[in-house]
Amino acid sequence: MGELSSVRALERGLAIISILNRHNGLTVTQIGKLSNLPRPTAYRLLRTLESLGYIFRDERDKNYRLSSKVRSLSHGYDQEEWISKISRPIISSLCNKILWPIAIGTISGANILIRDTTDDLSPYALNRLRGGFHISLINTASGMVYLSFCENEKSSELISYSLKRDPEAFNKSRTNVTLFRKSLSEIREKGFACLPTVGQNHGVLAYPIIVKENIFATLSMRFLLSALNISQAIERYSPQIESASTEIGRSIESWISKNE
Give the model confidence (pLDDT) of 118-165 as tens digits. 998 999 998 888 887 889 898 899 999 999 999 988 898 898 888 887
pLDDT at 73: 62
Q: Are residues 89 and 109 in the same domain?
A: yes
- Alpha carbon distance 20, 257 (integer Å): 24
Q: Residues 44, 157: one domain?
A: no
Residue type, 198: V
Whether pLDDT at 1 is above 80: no
pLDDT tens per residue across span 33-80: 999 999 999 999 999 999 888 888 877 678 898 876 776 565 444 445
**Same domain as 233, residue 158:** yes
Total number of domains in the chain: 2
Provide long-range contacts, Cβ within 8 A and 24+ apart, for 222-230: 222/100, 222/101, 222/102, 222/103, 222/125, 223/100, 223/124, 224/124, 224/126, 225/196, 225/201, 226/201, 227/124, 228/203, 230/194, 230/195, 230/196, 230/203
Q: Looking at residue 226, what DSSP letter applies?
A: T
Q: Does residue 161 sit in the same domain as residue 45?
A: no
CATH number at residue 53: 1.10.10.10
In this prediction, residue 5 has a pLDDT band, given cuts at 50, 70 and 90, of: low
Report percent pLDDT > 90 for the chain: 52
91 and 199 fall within a common domain? yes
Closest CA to 193 of 131, 114, 138, 113: 138
Q: DSSP letter for 72, please.
A: G
Q: How far apart are CA 12 and CA 7, in angstroms?
A: 9
Q: Identify the domain containing residue 144 by its residue range.
A: 72-259
Start-end of H helices in 37-151: 39-51, 75, 88-98, 141-149
Res. 199 pLDDT band, cuts 50 70 90: confident
Name the pTM for this structure.
Answer: 0.70
**CA nearest 68: which of 102, 115, 28, 32?**
115
